[in-house]
Each structure stands twice: as structure tokens, then as C-alpha cells.
Amino acid sequence: MPNIKINDPYINFLLSATDGQKYSLDLPSLGKIKVLIFSCNHCPYAQAWENRIINIQEKYSKDGVSIIMISSNDSDAYPEDSFEKMKERHDEKKFNFPYLYDETQEIAKMYGAERTPEVFVFDNLGLLRYTGAIDDNYEDESAVNSSYLMDALDNIVKGNKASVEITDAVGCTIKWK
């Protein structure tokens, strides 16, 4: 279970991204609604959801939504999750959102993130309104019955609470040092 609970404010940070920038959640360019997704390069679950994440960013950017993806995996044990490999993945997939490196794993620990991918959605007041999975079928996008993240965003952009605030994140465990 995350350390951060529904209605808690986001925990700010400053992390380097694959685009050469440093990101903080206070940056005005990130818009009013922030979607943090703890992810990584090597996890098949994370890979299966990448195109959907790109499409969600594209769909909701006009509503002031910014996706921020963070990799916190131990890159010594999993070289495919190194910062250099993250840069390659960012370019290869043409991510339309920042991909940040939590080298010390401090941010994942503060949030209580345990899986890749694991989602945390903060509203325009910076309060956690949804946490969990992207949807209910990582294997087959056409077989999705519940689009948890998009359903939450549909409500949050209108100033409402998410109809479902917590789901179980499905994916690989974060690889701790």
C-alpha cells in the first residue's frame, strides 16, 4: 500500500530526465493535473502499457494533464534500466512526457511505490485522487473492461472525485538496491 494516501498532497522532488532537463512537480509547464507513473524499461507489464500511456498523454494534454514517468529500479542489477538505456527507450518510443530517473530510489520509497507501472494522480490542488493500475488488461488493449486511469482523469479534469480511487497496481516489483 502506498505511503501517500488519497487526499494527501504530492511529495515534491527534483529529478533528472531523459530529455536533459530536471523536473519538479512545481513546474508550471507540467499543467494542473499530474500523473506520476513509476515504471522502467525491462518490465513486460510496463512495456505493454507504454503505447497506452503515450495515447493518454495525447488525449488529456489539452485538459492540463501531464504524465511524468519515473524509473526507480536498481540499474546495477538491471542494466537495461540504466539512465542511458532510459534515454534510448525515450527516443525509441517517442515518449510525449518526461521520463525521470530516481537513482537513489528515494522518491519511490517516499510514495510507497511497489510496482511497475504504478500510477498516482494529483488534482489541480496537488491532492492524490487516484492510485493503482492503468487499466484491467495489460496483455490486450482491445479486451480492457475498465480504464481506471482514464475514468479517473475524466472525473478529475471536471473537478470531481474519481469514481474509483484505488486499484491494485499490476506489474513487476520495483527492483530495490
What is the C-alpha separation between 79 and 73, in angstroms, rounded?
Answer: 9
Domain boundaries, the chain: 15-173
Q: Among 122, 95, 147, 172, which residue's Cα sits nearest to residue 6?
A: 122
Q: Is the pTM of this model over 0.85?
A: yes
Q: What is the pLDDT of residues 93-150, one digit of tens each?
A: 999 999 999 999 999 999 999 999 999 999 999 999 999 999 999 999 999 999 999 9
- The answer, yes or no, to whether residue 1 has pLDDT greater than 90, is no
Separation between Cα atoms, residue 1 and residue 18, nearest integer Å: 28
Q: Which fold has domain 15-173?
A: Glutaredoxin (3.40.30)
